[in-house]
Structure 1
Amino acid sequence: MNRRTLLAFATLSTALAAFGPAHAEEPLKVGFVYIGPVGDAGWTYAHEQGRLQMEKALGGKVKSTYVENVPEGADSERVIRKLAADGNKLIFTTSFGYMNATEKVAKAFPNVVFQHATGFKTMKNMGSYEARLYEGAYLQGIIAGKMTKTNTLGMVGSFPVPEVIRNINAFTLGAQSVNPKIRTKVVWVNSWYDPAKERQAAETLIAQGADVLTQNTDSPATLQVAQEKGKYAFGWDSDMQRFAPKAHLTASTNQWGGYYTEVAKAVMAGTWKTGQVHGGLTEGMVKMSPLNPVVPADAAKLFEEKKAAFTSGKAKPFQGPIKDQSGAIKVAAGAELPMKDVLSMNFYVQGVEGTIPK
């Protein structure tokens, strides 16, 4: 082989190497920050299932990691900042209390995309997203209103933020749509995940006469108490049927996999843009788990009809007339509560007992 042939071979080898593994495009690094344990039910579990679905859909194009049990506050800022410093170019922060920390870190890492769940702040490299779980809460209310014998429902609340208040109100409105006598009691546990407190709250609600319970917390403790006491309850964020099969009537579940996949694809393509995303039954971001066979046929029929109306966009949970606890009209008959007011909801509808903690 002469020198010219050797030179040509070397040139070809160099050109081929440019397309080989040494120059292969690096996978997009994606970080997730979780408020609770991954576990096997609830809010964090649903996000983790979404992360796994994203990885399955995109294969080697992404490399993701997560940090669980991250408290809201200073700890969250430290964790978010470390994920950015470690080279993650897309970071999902999945709790309302991470909002300010996410904003602060986003300012320090302008080339990283941040997506914050359930908040309202956005900037050039920070968007927000959430599911319209209140659609599911309304549907649960229909079942509860039909099945209660005491006309008293119970809600185990996490924190008195708009996200939770609108779920309480939607649940109550759904129940009142089939049973105007409904009253809803609320016990706050001031935690997203605390099985012991959730259990105590559920026991308190049942002692106060509630015979159908729902929750805005992560563990199946509320359901388990309901089953022990011969009452009914609903799962939240994920299907919790296996924890209390006799008590579990249905669950309003989060489906994050499709959304996480699309956001990652947009970041990789350079087409991601900031904004606020609110997905529900229509978009497949909310899904109701199968109904328990104990649900009466007439209740199941109403449930399916309203679910179809929400999915098609023909109906909304916060359509008037809606009154607050004082009897004042908040939404006139035929009108719909604007999304900005849904997102900032700070009042109880008529029928919810007690006051919102400050």
Structure 2
Amino acid sequence: AFAYGTSRDMGEAEGISNIYAYDAQADEGGFVNGVIAAHLTKSNVIGIVGPVEAGDAKLYIDGFVNGVHSVNPDIDVQIAYTGSFGDTALAAETANTHIAAGADVLTGSAQQVVGAIGVAAEAGIPWLGTQQDQSPIAEDIVVATQQYDWTAMVRTILANMKANKYGGELFELTLENGGLSMQYGNLNQSVIDAAEAAISAIKAGDFDPSDAAGTMGVMAGDAMMDDGGDDAMMMETPEIEPVRIAIVMPSGISDLAWSQSIYESLLSVQAMYDPDVVEIAYTEGMFNVSDAATALRDYASEGFDVVIAHGTQYGTSLFEIAPDFPETAFLYGTSRDTGEAEGLTNVSAYDAQADEGGYVNGVIAANLSESGVIGIVAPIEAGDAKLYIDGFVAGVESVDADAEVLIVYTGSFGDIALAAETANTHIAAGADVLTGSAQQVVGAIGVAKEQGIPWVGTQYDQSTVAPDNVVATQLYDWSAMLLDVIVNSQSGTYGGSVYELTLANHGLTMVYGDALSAEVIAAADAAVDGIVSGEITPR
């Protein structure tokens, strides 16, 4: 069996029966990257470092240009083909030429782009990639990537060979079949929303991403918004006055879970504006509620405009402090109680509908498990942790009603050793897939890594601990909520709102690891679509 690409010619005209061909519909992710680039550019000049004007490189560039012009037809997209796939020096030179001509966003394809990405990193200019994740070269500037996954094709060829079929089939990578997928880096939520809207439109067949005339202006304005989402969670980056934000957290800003998720969202908001517009102060490790209350009062006394208590356990203290600072916007969660019954007008609450991504992770886990036994390392039976677990169990059972889901609550958010012990107990009982939540999971993930067992995570990307084992993650993004609180407080509304993170408003997003097959990703995406449309109730 021979396979080659990119091509659509299997040699049938020549009487050949043992050749497979494959193609990547790179214009699809190219279009999405173009939409992103159009939202990022301030100069309205974007540069493309192309290799040779053929194959998936040409498809990618055509789609990219159309994606840019779907948002703003007036943007100048500069295209330069180097004539080489591997000349990194020439690619670097081309990138410098684009920048000198005013480009403030760059993209390109083929192995030559290593040189161009280096230039982008030096100049602090966003890069949009294709084919493979290029963020290890410059993680701060590679803001989005269209990734190719050939796994399903290879498996089909191997299965065909067993059936004595050695060729005659054409394979395509598309967004719809999971052969193409988008990975986002340091992007604000409104841009991700625009990209996801483009993906949905491509999957739905609303337009052909390689058709310049048919896509001109189609993603401009309100087309970027998910009509079914919460407007407060889908806003564009607003103009704001300088603001001081303080946050008190129960764990550390690098906990890979609850606290890091909101701290990174704060940094994302800060990065949207010029220096000195958004000031951030934080106190971490506040497991003691009395100490946290002191820190909250101190921040309010020091004149911080927005004070966040990142934990349900801080609610009682916050309700006591808030009346003394009527023009300070207080925010806490997870909760839905804004203190209205107590007469408070300057407290907002937030909640993560973690059962949604929990359900998706459960679907993934059920598809991965061979033993039919799955283990959960849980902290305390409350809040988003409980929501996540309920959704996870429902997701598993939607695939395999006979699967056994072992749940152990450790009674702690931060006991890493106890989480590791619990993970070992699950494995000894036959579990071959694990999950859990809160900062304690670092211990459990370590055990999963040692045993070569898949882990599905929530709250924050934990793949840095075990990149080969963390196969999927539900990510929390609080950025849109934070922006709304800032805007409201600067217009004189200091509280009274309840915010939710959901899959529909993209406060929750799913990220998949390289170890997942296209079939499992397709099952997960189907679950996401079902939850967003309301066809699936995750708990």
TM-score class, shorter-chain normalisation, is: 0.7 to 0.9
Q: For residue 327 of structure 1, what is the aligned residue in structure 2?
A: none
1:28 deviates by: 2.2
Q: Deviations over 1:77-115 (max 9, x none)?
A: 111111111111211111121111111111332221111
Offset at residue 296 of structure 1 (A)? 3.8
Q: Which residue of 2 aligns with 1:300?
A: 521
Match of 1:159 in 2: 380
CA separation in 1, counterparts of 2:316 and 2:288?
Answer: 10
Q: Is 1:224 the equivalent of 2:439?
A: no
* In 2: Cα distance, 1:64 partner to 1:118 partner: 21
- 1:235-292 per-position Cα deviation (integer Å, ceiling 9, x unaligned): 2211111211221110111111222122112211224541221121111111111233
2:239 is aligned with 1:239: no
1:118 Cα deviation from its structure 2 partner: 0.4
Counterpart of 1:260, as a letter, is L
The one-character-per-residue Cα deviations of 1:145-176 (angstroms, maximum 9, x if unpaired) are 11112211111111111432222111011011
After superposition, what is the alpha-carbon deviation per residue over 1:294-315, rounded to whole angstroms, capped at 9, x for unaligned?
A: x344322211111122234443
Q: Tell me, in whole angstroms, the C-alpha distance in 1 between the residues paired with 2:283 and 2:502.
A: 26
Partner residue, 1:49: 264
For 1:310, the equivalent position in structure 2 comes to 531
Letter in 1 for 2:250: I
| Separation in 2, partners of 1:89, 1:316 | 38
Kindly provide the amino acid, as one letter, of the partner of residue 497 in structure 2.
G
Tell me which moved more, 189-198 or 298-307: 189-198
In structure 2, the partner of 1:258 is: 480
Q: Which residue of 2 aligns with 1:280?
A: 502
What do residues 205-261 of structure 1 show as CA deviations (whole Å, max 9, x unaligned)? 212222111111224322221121121111221111121122111011111122212
Match of 2:398 in 1: 177
Q: Tell me, in whole angstroms, the C-alpha distance in 2 between the residues paired with 1:85 and 1:204.
A: 48
Task: Summarize the alignment of residues 121-160 of structure 1 with structure 2, pairs less than 5 Å apart.
Answer: 121-123=337-339, 124-160=345-381
Q: Deviations over 1:186-221 (max 9, x none)?
A: 222222223222212211221222211111122432
- Check if 1:268 corresponds to 2:490: yes
User: What is the aligned partner in structure 2 of residue 322 from structure 1?
Assistant: none
Query: What runs of 5+ residues in structure 1 fail to find an aligned partner?
Result: 1-24, 319-358
Alignment match, 1:190: 411
1:209 aligns to 2:459 (yes or no): no
Q: Moved runs in structure 1, 4+ residues, more than 4 A?
A: none
Mapped contact 1:172–1:182 kept (Cα < 8 A): no
Q: Choose between structure 1 and 2 for higher RCO, CA contacts under 8 A separated by at least 6 residues.
A: 1
- Mapped to 2, the partners of 1:275 and 1:257 lie a distance apart of 15
Aligned to 1:32: 247
3-state DSSP of counterpart to 1:243: coil
Q: Distance in 2 between matches of 1:174 and 1:113?
A: 37
How many pairs were matched up?
293
* 2:295 alignment partner in structure 1: 79
Q: Distance in 2 between matches of 1:86 and 1:70?
A: 19
Structure 2 CA distance, aligned partners of 1:62 and 1:188?
38
Q: How far apart in 2 are the matches of 1:78 and 1:104?
A: 11
Do 1:234 and 1:249's aligned partners in 2 also have CA atoms closer than 8 Å? Answer: yes
The alignment's C-alpha RMSD in Å is: 1.9
- Shift of residue 26 of structure 1? 7.6
Pairing partner for 1:117 from 333, 351, 358: 333
In the superposition, the TM-score normalised over structure 1's length comes to 0.77
Contact persistence 2:366–2:400 (CA under 8 A)? yes
Q: Tell me the percent identity.
A: 23
Structure 2: 5+ residue stretches without partners: 1-239, 340-344
Which residue identity does 1:62 align to in structure 2? V
Is the CA contact 1:223–1:234 (under 8 Å) kept in the aligned structure 2? Answer: no
* 8 Å contact from structure 1 (residues 249, 291) kept in 2: yes
- Structure 1: distance between partners of 2:504 and 2:423: 32
**Partner-residue secondary structure (3-state), 1:241:** coil
**C-alpha separation in 1, matches of 2:373 and 2:390:** 14
Task: Give 1:40 shift.
Answer: 5.9
**Aligned-partner SS, 2:360:** helix
- 3-state SS, counterpart of residue 177 of structure 1: helix
In structure 2, the CA distance between the partners of 1:171 and 1:312, relative to structure 1 (3 Å rule), is same
Structure 2 residue identity aligned to 1:298: E
Cα pair 1:32 1:66 within 8 Å, conserved: yes
Which one-letter code corresponds to 1:94 in the other structure? H
Q: Deviations over 1:124-153 (max 9, x none)?
A: 111101221211110000011111122111
Give the distance between the partners of 2:293 and 2:495, measured in 1 at CA: 23
- The 3-state SS of whatever aligns with 1:156 is strand
Which residue does the alignment assign to 1:328? none
- Aligned mate of 1:89, from 305, 319, 336: 305
Change (3 A) 1:26 1:260: closer
SS at match of 1:39: coil
Distance 1:229 1:62, change over 3 A: same
| Partner secondary structure for residue 143 of structure 1 | helix
TM-score, reference length from structure 2: 0.52
In 2, Cα distance between equivalents of 1:166 and 1:240: 19
Q: Secondary structure at the match of 1:201?
A: helix
Contact 1:211 1:231 in 2 (8 A): yes
Please tell me whether the aligned partners of residues 136 and 252 of structure 1 are also in contact (alpha carbons under 8 angstroms). yes
Q: Is the 8 A contact 2:365 2:456 kept in 1?
A: no
Letter in 2 for 1:283: N
1:7 corresponds in structure 2 to: none
How far has the Cα of 1:56 moved from its partner? 1.6
Q: Residue 72 and residue 138 in structure 1: after superposition, are their counterparts in 2 closer, same or farther (change >3 A)?
A: farther
Q: Distance in 2 between matches of 1:107 and 1:196?
A: 41
Query: In structure 1, what is the Cα distance between the partners aligned to 2:416 and 2:408?
Result: 14
